[in-house]
Amino acid sequence: MQTIQNYINGTFEDPLSGDWLDNYCPANGEVYGKIPNSDQADVDKAYEAAKTAFPEWSETTLDHRSRLLLKIADLIETNLQRFAEAESQDNGKPVNLAKSIDIPRAASNFRFFAHAITQFSSESHESVGLNAINFTLRQPIGVVGCISPWNLPLYLFTWKIAPALAAGNCVIAKPSEITPLTAFLLSELCTEAGLPKGVLNIVHGLGKTTGQAIIEHPGIKAISFTGGTTTGAHIARTAAPLFKKLSLELGGKNPNIIFADCDYDAMLETTLRSSFSNQGQICLCGSRIFVETSIYEKFKADFVSKVKVLKVGHPSESGTNIGALVSQSHLEKVMTYIEEAPQEGGKILCGGHAVSVKGFENGYYLEPTVIEVATDTCKINQEEVFGPVVTIMPFETEDQVLDMANKVKYGLSATLWTNDLKRTMRLSKKLEAGIIWVNTWMLRDLRTPFGGMKSSGVGREGGFEALRFFTEAKNICIKY
């Protein structure tokens, strides 16, 4: 039995209430550990530790902070295999995926912000004729909260805490209660790297207890959150009267728009990835595929034949393309969308059923599913399913596909497949999404702004945007 503990003031602690939760392994449906269900008292304790650590941490030199973060990055890499196995055990994703994407990216997050903070500059303005100079200080906020989801556990957890720490804040972080293991392992590495006590505090537990205590805490001045849109709206409502700074990265229902003039083979391979990576549980997945009529039937046949051979299997088997979904309740939610789709004219072209993997019959496995929809406004085309399920439908004109692409409440990302530069620019400007990929998908440069429009969130993370979020700008005007 794996017991996860809170990491408060540099020590491992049980929850003060003595309340624990079961931790399930999605690949076999068994309980393999327990985690604290922390409450207000634990968060208060973490806050006191963070508040006490802040004056010294915020005054450390950039060089010192940078070295510490680089050390943590190195330690994550040294522990790559152990972390990848833990991530897979907790989340159900293939070990190979965790090993090649999630864990290396967690190290990159620390490394990137370790360097970025040394290049982060502020502005100065000479007020000519007034004998005055203005300059802007970028000061750390104080104690900040970072709340992350289960789909890319360590990847998104570190995406928040690395810039927060680099900017000189002390952090209270909560990973998802469904996938707490790698955040717990990370706390060990932070101690090993020499991170001073109280600078990073990790509290585990449910959103409605631990998460709620963080967002309600009057001393926690900023919240960086990634998760569902409903939770994001709740956080915004709770934080507003407390005037907290908020960064909300929420769901997506991203269009993947395919024109006949694209590089077809590259498009087909990438579309397979953008549809089903991480069992489709990435907010950036292109879950609505729109294909120009002239190549629609060919695409449909080629795509479906490739999807049918994807292997659903145990996450630690090397040939597995699709591992387990994160939880029983999530599997049921995704299944409901599939079952309801035919009521609005949806035709299931492949998949659609839960899979029993030999030896792991209680795991949460689902076939990759392609549904041809009759209308772009049907439920499965409008709501975030967040599983290995995509819809496809044809389009005739650029205007028509633009209208369909934008006619959802979300606005996170969009993918365009075309070799026409003018069309690329026309559409890129008009698509309502924070991130547009053209002839690629999920190519990430950590310097770029990341975030969504509409119900996909508020604010941008990544690069200097993250450092701006985690600092207060203070202007100083000196008359001489």
Contact set with ligand TXE (CB under 6 A): 147-151, 174, 176-177, 206-208, 211-212, 215, 226-228, 231, 234-235, 249-251, 283, 384, 386
Closest CB to ligand TXE among residues 250, 366: 250
**Cβ neighbours of residue 212 under 8 Å, at least 6 residues apart?**
238
Q: What is the dihedral of CA 336, 28, 185, 77, to 10 degrees?
A: -90
In the complex with ligand TXE, the residue whose CB is nearer, 41 or 425, is: 41
Q: How far is the CB of 55 from ligand TXE (least distance, A)?
A: 27
Tell me whether residue 361 is one of the annotated catalytic residues: no
Helix/strand/coil for 157: helix
Catalytic residue among 85, 87, 249, 292: 249
Distance CA 411, CA 456 (A): 5
Q: Is 131 left (phi over 0), alpha (psi -120 to 50) or beta?
A: left
Distance CA 476, CA 468 (A): 17
Q: Which residues contact 105 (CB under 8 A, 6 or more apart)?
A: 155, 158
Question: Is 283 an active-site residue?
Answer: yes
- The amino acid at residue 175 is P
Task: Report the alpha-carbon distance of residue 286 to residue 103 in Å, rounded.
Answer: 23
The answer to whether residues 253 and 384 touch, using CB atoms and an 8 Å cutoff, is yes
Looking only at Cα atoms, what is the longest distance across the chain? Answer: 79
Choice between 89 and 279, CB closer to ligand TXE: 279
**What is the closest distance, in whole angstroms, from the C-beta atom of residue 245 to ligand TXE in the complex?**
16
Tell me the three state secondary structure of residue 118. Answer: helix
Q: How many CA atoms lie within 13 A of 174 on its CB side?
A: 33
Q: Which of 25, 283, 285, 378 is catalytic?
A: 283
- Cα separation of 95 and 82, whole Å? 10
User: Cβ 213 to ligand TXE, closest distance in Å?
Assistant: 8
Distance CA 333, CA 442 (A): 25
Q: How far is the CB of 390 from ligand TXE (least distance, A)?
A: 15
Nearest to 355 by CA among 387, 318, 384, 312: 312
141 near 219, Cβ under 8 Å? no
Alpha carbon distances (Å) from 239 to 43, 60, 313, 355: 16, 29, 42, 42
- Which residue type is seen at 15? P
Query: CA-CA distances (angstroms) from residue 46 to 65, 181, 372, 468?
Result: 21, 19, 50, 24
Q: Are 176 and 125 in contact (CB under 8 A)?
A: no
Annotated catalytic residues are 249, 283
